[in-house]
Structure 1
Amino acid sequence: MAASLDVHVRICGQEIIKYDLEIKAFIQDIRDCPGPQSALMELNSLVKVKLNQLRLRIQDLEQMAKEQDREEDRLAIQTETESQRKQMLSNQTAWRKSNLACKLAIDNMEKDELLHGIQNPTLKQRKVTKESLVETSGDITDSLMSICRMMDHNVKQSEDSIGTLATSSRTILETNEEFKSMTGTIHLGRKLILKYNRRELTDKLLIFLALALFLATVLYILKKRLFPFY
């Protein structure tokens, strides 16, 4: 079961890396996109899909961390999860900046066309799609806020886990102190038992000597009465 889980962790990690690289490539394409707006919107749609896939795989990796039996493995996977989540946040920031840079480039190109009197049949369409670009920026902002809330939730869970560990540590220390007290009691009891055994042996020896003296006295009296001349 553990080996199967390790395989799933590796596969999940490989998929996360693949989605991360694909997102970075799409962000670079957005940064270099000369237009038109339809091409930019298509690239943004691809980034949204990949970000959603990446977010789901990170959640899967986080769940796998909770299923680990060894504390060392669980902490290692949780660390990797946090690293990948921060990387995703960095990608979203870069995505937003690339969109703004591309929008600025398109605006500058439109201004140049207006200044030079060039009739561009798609100019009106580009102005209309600016609203779509603004909406896309809003979606990215919402995604960033969602990730921040998720990170805050994870921080609270980590604090709860630390509190639980602290309580467990105190319980272990108290149990250890109880064991030490019981060990002292057992040691004292052993001494008392040994002392009692020695006293019992002494009592038996005294009883034996008294009995021997009694028998010797009886024999002596019998001898004097039965054989007075001896």
Structure 2
Amino acid sequence: MSQSNENLRLKILKTDFVKLRVSVKELVQEIRLHTGSQSELDDISSLVRLKNSQLHKQIEELQKLYYELDQGEEKRLISKEIEEWKEQVCDDHHTFRNVLLAAQLAVTQRNKNELFGLDSEDSTKDSEGGTLKHREKMSREIMMKKSAELTDDLLMVTRMIKDNTEKSTRTLDKLVESSQMVTSTQEELKTMGSVIGQAKKILNKYGRRENTDK
């Protein structure tokens, strides 16, 4: 691959990586300010996970470029960039999980408030008597339905916490494995260089002996 093609490929990878990170941050902020339903929250979370998957693919492409380069300053810089990208993606994912958990708990709390009639509407004062408005008593059937929905929401939050923990563990394992591969390749290249150097000394030694014999 020519130098110009390598530079162009690296530039495209960096640009796409930055765009994806900005998109993730915007979605996380949207989750942080979310006041809607659990279903809407799930849709936003799915988009974040999709962007995170694309970010990991960008890192993989940068690693491919690293392996295609000859030893030199540029390869060293790309190796450093790979590690920085991994740390950034890991940090973003950690922030996403914390914000998502807080948003899920907020949704659950809103459902709980609605169940027990603690919405802000109940604090609105009556224009004549200055007393608090009370919404009509929910029927037993509606109460049971709301209670079931609240239980489902709590179970969903529990499952999400478990899934996020497992995904985080797999992500960290993958990052550690990738880092070890880069380190192993660098050590192999150093060993090969040492062997080549020794072989060169032996060839030079025998070359001088041959000239002496003549």
TM class by shorter chain equals: 0.7 to 0.9
| Aligned 8 A contact 2:31 2:44 in 1 | yes
Corresponding position of 1:202: none
Between Structure 1 and Structure 2, how many residues are aligned? 190
Quick one: distance in 2 between partners of 1:184 and 1:11?
Answer: 52
1:29 corresponding residue in structure 2: 30
Distance 2:182 2:5 in 1: 27
Pick closer, same or farther for the CA change 1:159–1:66 going to 2, 3 Å: closer
Asked whether the 8 Å contact 2:108–2:154 carries over to 1, the reply is no
Which runs of 5 or more residues in structure 2 are unaligned? 120-134
Please name the residue that 2:189 is paired with.
165
Question: Which has the larger helix fraction?
Answer: 1
Structure 1 gaps of 5+ residues are: 194-230
> Aligned partners of 1:45 and 1:132: how far apart in 2?
15
Determine which structure has more spread, i.e. the larger CA radius of gyration: 1
- Among the aligned pairs, what percent are the same residue? 21
Deviation at 1:174, TM superposition (A): 2.5
Indicate how the Cα distance of structure 1 residues 126 and 39 shifts in structure 2: closer, same or farther if over 3 A, else same: farther
- 1:29 CA drift (Å): 1.3
What's the counterpart of residue 69 of structure 1? 70
Whether contact under 8 Å (2:105, 2:157) holds in the other structure is no
Q: Is the 8 A contact 1:92 1:140 kept in 2?
A: no
Tell me: CA distance 1:57–1:155, structure 2 relative to 1, closer, same or farther (3 Å).
closer
- Aligned pairs for 1:1-230 (under 5 A) are 1-2=1-2, 3-114=4-115, 116-117=117-118, 123=146, 125=149, 127-175=151-199, 177-178=201-202, 181=205, 185=209, 189=212
Q: Which moved more, 1:86-95 or 1:157-166?
A: 157-166
CA contact (8 A) 2:108 2:150 kept: no
| Distance change >3 Å, CA 40–CA 126, structure 1 → 2 | farther
Residues 186 and 131 of structure 1: is their aligned pair in 2 closer, same or farther, counting only changes over 3 Å? same
Contact map agreement 2:112 2:150 (CA 8 A) in 1: no
Deviation at 1:113, TM superposition (A): 4.0
Secondary structure at the counterpart of residue 36 of structure 2 = coil
Asked whether the 8 Å contact 2:97–2:164 carries over to 1, the reply is: yes
d(CA) in 2 for partners of 1:27, 1:4: 35
Q: Which stretches of structure 1, 4 residues or longer, exceed 6 Å deviation after superposition?
A: 119-122
Shift of 1:114: 4.7
Cα displacement string for residues 154-186 of structure 1 (whole angstroms, at most 9, x for unaligned residues): 233234224323423432443464367458757
Aligned-CA RMSD value: 3.1
Q: What TM-score do you get using the length of structure 1 for normalisation?
A: 0.68
Asked if the contact 2:34–2:41 (Cα under 8 Å) also holds between the matched residues in 1, the reply is yes
By how many angstroms is 1:136 displaced?
A: 3.4
